[in-house]
Amino acid sequence: MKIEIKDLIQDGPKYVLPNISVDSVIFGYHEKELKVLLQRPQGISKWMLPGGYVHRDETIKQAAERVVKNRTGLDRLFLNQFQSFGTPTRTKDSELTPALFAEINQMELDENHWMFDYFVSIGFYSLTEFSKVVPSGEFYLEECTWWNIGDLPSLLYDHQEIIEAALKALRLHIYHYPIGYELLPEKFTLPEIHSLYETILDKTFDSRNFGKKLIATGIIKKLDERRNIGAHRAPFLYVFDMENYNQALENGYALFV
C-alpha cells in the first residue's frame, strides 16, 4: 500500500504506527571501499540514515525492506536487525525542529506534531554492492549519496551512534557467518574476496593463511579457469559452494576465531 505524503503528515497514525521508526544502515562495498548511504533533508545541513515508518499491515522487517528498496532500488537483500534505540530525547535536534520543517516545506505544523514525538527506532543494517545501486531520494530530500565509512559528515539525532553500533554488529556477524554472495560476481578471485574481508573488518590477513582457511571451510570452490586482468599473472576463479554456504548461513561457523 502506497501512502500519500499529505495523508501521512496530517493523519499519520491512521496508516502507520506512531512513535516507531525503522532506520537502515545501508553499507555499500565496492573495490576496497566501504561506504554508508546517507540522505540530507531539504534545508538541513546534517545528514541522516534512510528511515521510515511501519505500516499497520507489515512487519518491522518488511518496513525496513521497503525503505531500503526505495533508496537503493534493490530487493532480495542481506538485511539484519541489530538493535533498537529508545531514549526520550534522541530525536530532538536544533537542526531539525517542527517549526523549521514546517517552514521549509511550506506547511503548518503543530509543535507537538506526531512526527516530532519520542520515537523508538529499530535499527537494521544491510550490505550491498554499491555499483549496483542508484541512490534515490524522496520529496523532502535534497541529496542521497554514499559516504566513506570513517569519513562521515555531521549526522542528525543519534545516527552517528546507530552507524557505529551497526558496524560493530556487521563485523561480529562476519566472524560467524559467510558473506560475499551478494557482493561479488558469480565467479571471483581469491584476492577479491580477500580484499572484501580486509575492507569490512579494517584488518589485514596474510594471503596464504586467508586462502587456506577459507577453502578449508568449504564455502568456496576453485575453478579450472582464470581471469585475465591485464598486465599481471592471471588469478584463478572461484565460486561459492552454495550448499556449504547456506549451511554456514544457518548454523554459523567460526572464521578467524
Partner DNA sequence: GCAATAGTGTCTGTAAGACAGTATATT
Partner DNA sequence: AATATACTGTCTTACAGACACTATTGC
Q: Per-residue string for binding with a second copy, 4-43, x by CB under 8 A?
A: -------------xxxx-----------------------
For the four alpha carbons of 153, 159, 161 and 162, in that order, the dihedral sign comes to negative
Distance CA 51, CA 67 (A): 6
Contact 71, 39 (CB under 8 A): yes
**Smallest gap, in angstroms, from Cβ of residue 255 to a second copy?**
12
Of 156, 159, 134, 158, which Cα lies nearest the Cα of 144? 134
Instruction: Kindly write down the DSSP assignment for every residue of 14-30, as one continuous string.
Output: HHEEEEEEEEEEEEEEE
Tell me which residues in 110-149 interact with a second copy (CB under 8 A).
118, 120, 122
Residue 114 or 181: which CB sits closer to a second copy?
114
Alpha-carbon separation of residue 42 from 48, 114, 131, 146, 218 (angstroms): 12, 20, 26, 17, 49
Q: Which does 17 bind (CB under 5 to 8 A by kind): DNA, a second copy, none?
A: a second copy
Q: Which does 189 bind (CB under 5 to 8 A by kind): a second copy, DNA, none?
A: DNA
Tell me which residues in 76-115 interact with a second copy (CB under 8 A).
81, 83-88
Residue indicated by cell numbers 538493535? 83
Q: Which does 230 bind (CB under 5 to 8 A by kind): a second copy, DNA, none?
A: DNA
Residue 58 or 95: which CB sits closer to a second copy?
58
Residue 17 or 249: which CB sits closer to a second copy?
17
Residues making contact with a second copy (CB under 8 A): 17-20, 54, 56-61, 81, 83-88, 118, 120, 122, 254, 257
